[in-house]
Structure 1
Amino acid sequence: MLEQETRRPEAPLDGATRLDAVNQQLAETYPELSRQLKLAAGYVLEHPVEIAFQSIRKSAAAACVTPSTLMRLAKRLGFESYEQFREVFQSAVQAGPVELSGRASHLRSLASQTDDQVFLDVGDAAFDNIGRLFTADNQSRVREAARLLLGAGKVAVVGFRDTFACAYHFAYVGRIAMPNIHLVRGLEGGLLTELAPFGEGDVVVAFGFEPYCAETIRALELTREAGVSAIVVTDTMRSPLVPGASITFNVANATPHFFPSILSAITLIEVLLAECVAFGPDDLVDNVARFESRMREMGAYVDID
Structure 2
Amino acid sequence: MTRYQTDGESLSTTPLDAINQRLAALYPTLSPQLKQAAGFVMEHPLDMAFQSIRKTASAAQVTPSTLVRLAKRLGFDSYEPFREAFQSSVQAPPVELSGRASKLRDQASQPDDPLFVNVGEAAFDNIGRLFTADNQSRVREAARHLLAARKIAVVGFRDTFACAYHFAYVGRIAMPNVTLIRGLEGGLLTELDHFNEQDLVVVFGFEPYCAETVKALEVTRRNGVQAIAITDTLRSPLVPGSLMTFTVANATPHFFPSILSAITLSEAILAECVAFGPDQLVDNVKSFETRMRNMGAYVDTG
- Give the TM-score taking structure 2 as reference length: 0.71
CA contact (8 A) 1:150 1:280 kept: yes
Unpaired runs of 5+ residues, structure 2, are 4-10, 21-84
1:134 aligns with 2:70: no
CA contact (8 A) 1:90 1:254 kept: no
Q: Whole-Å Cα distance in 2 between the matches of residues 231 and 184 of structure 1? A: 15
Q: Whole-Å Cα distance in 2 between the matches of residues 184 and 253 of structure 1? A: 23
1:78 aligns with 2:14: yes
1:205 to 196, 202, 207: 202
1:240 aligns with 2:237: yes
- For 1:223, the equivalent position in structure 2 comes to 220
Q: Whole-Å Cα distance in 2 between the matches of residues 145 and 286 of structure 1? A: 22
CA contact (8 A) 2:90 2:234 kept: no
CA contact (8 A) 1:147 1:276 kept: yes
1:89 Cα offset (Å): 10
2:248 to 241, 247, 251: 251
TM alignment of 1:64-213, pairs within 5 A: 78-81=14-17, 95-96=93-94, 98-213=95-210
1:219 Cα offset (Å): 1.0
- For 2:45, the equivalent position in structure 1 comes to none
2:286 to 273, 285, 289: 289
Q: Which amino acid aligns with 1:156?
A: A
1:137 Cα offset (Å): 1.3
Q: Which amino acid aligns with 2:98?
A: S
- For 2:297, the equivalent position in structure 1 comes to 300
**Cα distance change on mapping 1:190 and 1:290 into 2, 3 Å:** same
Aligned alpha-carbon RMSD (Å) = 2.4
Q: Whole-Å Cα distance in 2 between the matches of residues 100 and 89 of structure 1? A: 23
- For 1:265, the equivalent position in structure 2 comes to 262
Unpaired runs of 5+ residues, structure 1, are 1-20, 26-74
1:79 Cα offset (Å): 3.0
- For 1:275, the equivalent position in structure 2 comes to 272
1:112 Cα offset (Å): 2.2
1:134-163: CA deviations, max 9, x gaps?
A: 011111110110000000000000000000
CA contact (8 A) 1:235 1:252 kept: yes
1:301 Cα offset (Å): 0.3
Secondary structure of 1:113 counterpart: coil
- Give the TM-score taking structure 1 as reference length: 0.71
Q: Which amino acid aligns with 1:142?
A: V
**Cα distance change on mapping 1:159 and 1:289 into 2, 3 Å:** same
- For 2:24, the equivalent position in structure 1 comes to none
1:113 Cα offset (Å): 2.4
